[in-house]
Amino acid sequence: MSGAPGERRHLTVLFCDIAQSTALAKSLDPEDLSQLMRTYYDRCGEAIQHFDGVIASYVGDGIMALFGYPRAHEDDAERAVHAALKILEVSKTVYPKGHPPIRVRIGIASGLVVVGEDKLHALTREKSVVGETPNLAAHLQGVAAPNSVLISEATRKLIGDVFELEKMELPNLKGRPEIAWHIIGPKARTSRFEAHGRILTNFVGRDQEVALLVDRWQQVNQGEGQVVLLAGEAGIGKSRIVENFRQMISGTAQLTLRYQCSPYHTDSALYPVITELEHAANIAPNDASSLKLEKIESLLKEEGLNLDETLPVLAALLSVAPIHHQMSIHSVGKNAH
């Protein structure tokens, strides 16, 4: 749908800015500050575009992004939160000259807005976004702690049970208490079917498919390995069939492994394997590389696997450099001098 002036849309709005940016600007040479801002805008823009959001405007060091415009998705609020977490991650790679990495604050809100072309910025195609939703997102960003994401209650209802959340009560906004939610990080091993807590209707019309799954399960129990591919158009009910079958066999001895692809990680064919390994090793998103390596090594020892053969492979898969590899690079550099 085109961005006609005065278009009413239900969107999720993301506000992001650099914490303590005024003090940072005073301490940097103008050219260094200009380069910093270009890098910051580029990294944030890439994170936003990766989740199909659009940048509506730049205000100083702040960015306002829209999710659900011009193209809407059923998970726009979830996309906005994923983008926010990605911004937190990439901001750690933006180093002002002579300073530690920048820290950002992000606020997200969802609701009805009016979107149109900003006539004052016609050449840059910036958007004017009017309504309470952008104001609330800006307020949440303003009170968020550095390197944190706050979302509104409306956004929390839209994202379901996908993320770990912490409830917070904010200073009054327009004379009334405001409840917000701090995003801790994605939840591990939660299926998309379960995460959004759908109210299930009666399960009808799929007896043949379920009977086939039950038959294959019985053959597995008799020692005959089976593989079943359940394919169909989006929304046809594949996840519901699998969930119903899983409940039917829940009382039996089994080991369930769930590997889920993600529309946000289409550039990573092994993403489901990576997430399963991270869960098995109890790796958190904010773990340092050294801690991730220790957890991988501990998992491999528990399984009785050869560390020399398996550690480099899994460490590379999880983008963690093995310690002995780091040491060899350092040694080469030292001998070169």
pLDDT for the residue 4 = 46
- The answer to whether 141 touches 155, Cβ cutoff 8 Å, is no
Average model confidence (pLDDT) for the chain? 81
In the DSSP assignment, the letter for residue 241 is H
- Residue 112: inside a domain: yes
Residue type, 187: K
Neighbour tally for 13: CB within 10 Å:
30
In the DSSP assignment, the letter for residue 263 is G
pLDDT for the residue 231 = 84
pTM of the model as a whole: 0.68
pLDDT for the residue 318 = 84
pLDDT band at 336 (very low <50, low <70, confident <90, very high): very low
pLDDT for the residue 273 = 84
User: What's 11's domain CATH number?
Assistant: 3.30.70.1230
Cα 276 from Cα 298, distance rounded (Å): 16
- Residue 255: inside a domain: no
Do 211 and 323 belong together in one domain? no
Tokens 């940016």, located at residue: 21
Do 17 and 39 belong together in one domain? yes
- Residue 289: inside a domain: yes
Do 183 and 205 belong together in one domain? no
- The answer to whether 152 touches 109, Cβ cutoff 8 Å, is yes
Do 103 and 210 belong together in one domain? no
pLDDT for the residue 45 = 95
Which among 53, 59, 64, 69 has a CA at the least distance from the CA of 106? 64
- Residue 320: inside a domain: yes
Q: Is 184 helix (H, G, I), strand (E, B) or coil?
A: strand
- What are 170-225's pLDDT values in tens digits? 866 565 557 899 999 887 655 555 555 555 556 666 778 888 888 898 898 888 98
- What are 11-23's pLDDT values in tens digits? 999 999 999 888 8
- Residue 254: inside a domain: no
Which among 147, 153, 146 has a CA at the least distance from the CA of 170? 153
pLDDT at 38 over 60: yes
Report how far Cα 275 is from the mean position of its chain's Cα atoms. 13
Do 124 and 51 belong together in one domain? yes
pLDDT for the residue 325 = 42
Do 161 and 138 belong together in one domain? yes
Do 57 and 128 belong together in one domain? yes
| Owning domain of residue 43 | 7-187
- What are 263-319's pLDDT values in tens digits? 667 777 787 888 888 888 888 766 788 888 999 999 999 988 888 888 888 888 888
Q: Residue range 26-44: average pLDDT?
A: 91
Cα 16 from Cα 140, distance rounded (Å): 10
Q: Residue range 66-89: average pLDDT?
A: 92
Give Dmax (Cα) for the chain. 73
Do 201 and 233 belong together in one domain? yes
pLDDT for the residue 48 = 96
pLDDT for the residue 7 = 81
Domain count of the fold of the chain: 3
Q: Residue range 111-130: average pLDDT?
A: 69
